[in-house]
């Protein structure tokens, strides 16, 4: 476990450093995620200990958003001024984005699956 | 009364107190959610945030005191994001197989996220600064804050919108999927990550490991693409409606 946690934090540091030094518009943590994926591709797999440590961190991912979420209490005045217009915009836009993306992607995935199936059948004697 | 107050003031500055309370609140939220058979409105993050806000308001503890204590939990968001590389790697073959559909959905979802926010906001008569703060709502907090600042929005408002969007997305995902018959776990995960970033990803992980992997991927890619596209989309929006 210690080894796994060390690797994850080292990758996070590398990601943060890259993002800062190269002034990328990508946050360090996302760079770290991409870096660790790249390492896994190059090594053709990751150490069991890294996988276990990552699993432990992801298991309760939701809890990590709570401290920032409680910060909503400081926005009472800001939201109050434009009130429901802000909340309605947020709600409607989130529903449209999620529904639109999911619907379109499922359509494309199924089309691709059908094409593949046909291609396989064509190859059969 | 005065000594009790002083005692409370001292105790409320012990970080372990707020860490324990945050974990306890999540435990209560999670138990309620499971007990109610996964009823969407009882999302554990939503419940625990509401519980803690009520407690802080009731005890007159300012947010910075709470946040100073609970910060170690917040800091773990960094390594947890890095950890998303593991489900991503184990689904890499499928990412390759579906590269084109995923790219198209990424482009579509990114523009849809920004434009739908601008269109609704304009319709409801939001100010220019509010529009700039709400436009990057679908990407993870650090990116959204930087983008909102650059676009002339309000940074703390932008951060709040991001969290609210994430909670909305996590709560509404399954009802939306059921209504539109979205059964493909890749489509479910990817849409959650696109629309509701990390909070959506924490919901996707509950759905399946594959959904979690594609949600993490979508979250990362959308962050990158939104950084590149937001100023272009906002610029053309102002030139038409400004």
Does A86 fall in a domain?
yes
Q: How far apart are CA A54 and CA A9, in angstroms?
A: 11
What string of DSSP letters covers A61-83?
GGGGGHHHHHGGGGGHHHHHHHH
The band of A54, judged by pLDDT with boundaries at 50, 70 and 90, is: very high
User: Where along chain B do its domains lie?
Assistant: 10-71, 83-236
> Containing domain of residue A121, as a range?
76-125
∠ CA B203-B205-B208 to the nearest 5 degrees? 120
The rounded percent of chain B whose pLDDT value lies above 70 is: 99
Q: In the numeric block, which tokens belong to residue B97?
A: 């197989």
Q: Tell whether A75 is within 8 A of chain B (Cβ).
A: yes
Question: d(Cα A28, Cα A25) in Å, to the nearest integer?
Answer: 9
Q: What is the structure's pLDDT at A124?
A: 63
CA distance B113 to B90: 28
Question: Is residue A65 one of the residues assigned to a domain?
Answer: no
**Is A67 a member of any domain?**
no
Question: What percentage of residues in chain A have a pLDDT greater than 90?
Answer: 51
Q: Are residues A55 and A81 in the same domain?
A: no
A93-119 average pLDDT score: 93
Does residue A7 have a pLDDT over 90? Answer: yes
Residue B35: Cβ within 10 Å count: 10
Point out the residue among A12, A26, A109 whose CB comes nearest to the CB of B82: A12
- For residues A52 and A82, membership in a common domain is answered with no
Looking at the structure, tell me whether residues A50 and A98 fall in a common domain.
Answer: no
Cα–Cα distance measured from residue B242 to residue B235, given in angstroms and rounded to the nearest whole number: 9
Which residue reads 């000594």 in tokens?
A: B3
Is residue A4 domain-resident?
A: yes
> Residue A105 is nearest to which of B101, B164, B173, comparing CB atoms?
B101
pLDDT per residue as tens digits for the range B14-37: 989 999 999 999 999 999 988 988
Dihedral of CA B230/B231/B234/B240: which sign? negative
> What's the rounded mean pLDDT across residues B67-78?
92
Confirm whether A101 is domain-assigned.
Answer: yes
Given CB atoms, is A86 within the 8 Å cutoff of chain B? yes
pLDDT reported for residue B1: 64
Residues 22-51 of A with CB under 8 A from B: 25-30, 32-37, 40-41, 46, 50-51
Chain centroid, CA B78 distance in Å: 14
Same domain, A55 and A1: yes
Q: For the residues B66-73, what does the mean pLDDT come to?
A: 94
How far CA B150 is from CA of A13, B67, B194, in Å, comes to: 25, 26, 21
Structural domains of chain A, count: 2
Task: Examine residue A71 and state whether it is found in any structural domain, yes or no.
Answer: no
Do A4 and A52 fall into the same domain? yes
By the CB < 8 Å criterion, does A18 face chain B? no
- Is A6 at the interface with chain B, CB within 8 A? no
A20: chain B residues, CB-CB within 8 Å: none
> Does one domain contain both A81 and A119?
yes
Element containing residue B73 per DSSP (H, E): helix B63-75
Mean pLDDT of chain A: 88
Q: Could you tell me the CA-to-CA distances from B166 to B87, B139, B158, B195, B229 in Å, in that order?
A: 20, 9, 12, 8, 21
B120 with A82: Cβ contact below 8 A? no
How confident is the model over B185-200, as pLDDT tens digits? 999 999 999 999 989 9
ipTM of the complex: 0.88
One domain, residues A81 and A125: yes
Residue A125's pLDDT band (cuts 50, 70, 90): low
Q: Does a structural domain hold residue A69?
A: no
- Of the candidates B17, B3, B5, B1, the one whose C-alpha atom is nearest the C-alpha of residue B65 is B17
Phi-psi region of B125 (alpha: psi -120 to 50; beta: other; left: phi over 0): left
Nearest to B168 among A78, A91, A109 (CB): A91
A53 and A86 co-located in one domain? no
Residue B214 DSSP class: H
Cβ distance A91 to B104 less than 8 Å, yes or no, reads no
Q: Which of B73, B79, B157 sits opposite A66 (nearest CB)?
A: B73
Highest mean pLDDT among A22-26, B109-113, B229-233: B109-113
- Euclidean distance between CA atoms B92 and B147, whole angstroms: 30
User: Could B134 and A87 be called an inter-chain contact, meaning their C-beta atoms sit closer than 8 Å?
Assistant: no
Q: Is residue A68 part of a domain?
A: no
Q: Please give the backbone phi and psi of residue B103, each rounded to the nearest 5 degrees, phi first.
A: -65, -45
DSSP A6: H
Does A77 contact chain B (CB < 8 Å)? Answer: no
Contact B202 A62 (CB under 8 A): yes
pLDDT in tens, B112-155: 999 999 999 999 988 888 899 999 999 888 788 878 888 888 88
């Amino acid at each position: 476990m210690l080894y796994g946690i060390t690797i994850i934090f080292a990758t996070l540091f590398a990601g943060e450093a890259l993002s800062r030094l190269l002034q990328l518009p990508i946050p360090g943590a996302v760079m770290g995620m991409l870096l660790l994926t790249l390492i896994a591709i190059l090594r053709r797999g990751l150490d069991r200990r890294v996988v276990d440590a990552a699993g432990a961190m992801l298991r309760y991912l939701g809890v990590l958003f709570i401290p920032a979420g409680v910060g909503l209490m400081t926005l009472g005045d800001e939201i109050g001024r434009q009130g429901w217009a802000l909340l309605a915009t947020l709600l409607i836009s989130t529903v449209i984005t999620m529904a639109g993306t999911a619907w379109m992607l499922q359509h494309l995935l199924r089309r691709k699956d059908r094409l593949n199936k046909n291609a396989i059948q064509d190859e059969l004697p | 009364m005065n000594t009790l107050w002083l005692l409370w003031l001292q105790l409320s500055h012990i970080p372990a107190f707020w860490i324990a309370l945050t974990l306890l609140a999540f435990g209560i939220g999670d138990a309620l959610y499971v007990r109610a058979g996964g009823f969407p409105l009882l999302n554990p993050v939503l419940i625990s945030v509401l519980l803690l806000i009520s407690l802080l308001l009731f005890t007159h503890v300012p947010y910075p005191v709470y946040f100073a204590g609970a910060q170690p939990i917040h800091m773990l968001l960094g390594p947890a994001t890095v950890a998303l590389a593991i489900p991503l790697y184990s689904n890499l073959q499928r990412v390759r197989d579906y590269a084109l559909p995923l790219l198209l959905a990424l482009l579509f979802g990114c523009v849809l996220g920004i434009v739908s926010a601008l269109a609704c906001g304009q319709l409801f008569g939001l100010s220019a600064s509010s529009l700039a703060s709400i436009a990057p709502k679908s990407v993870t907090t650090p990116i959204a804050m930087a983008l909102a600042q650059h676009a002339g929005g309000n940074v703390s408002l932008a951060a709040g919108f991001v969290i609210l969007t994430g909670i909305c997305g996590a709560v509404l995902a399954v009802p939306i999927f059921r209504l539109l018959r979205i059964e493909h776990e890749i489509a479910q995960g990817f849409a959650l990550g696109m629309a509701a970033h990390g909070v959506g990803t924490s919901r996707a992980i509950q759905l399946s490991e594959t959904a979690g992997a594609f949600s993490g991927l979508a979250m990362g890619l959308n962050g990158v693409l939104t950084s590149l596209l937001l100023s272009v989309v906002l610029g053309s929006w102002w030139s038409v409606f400004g």
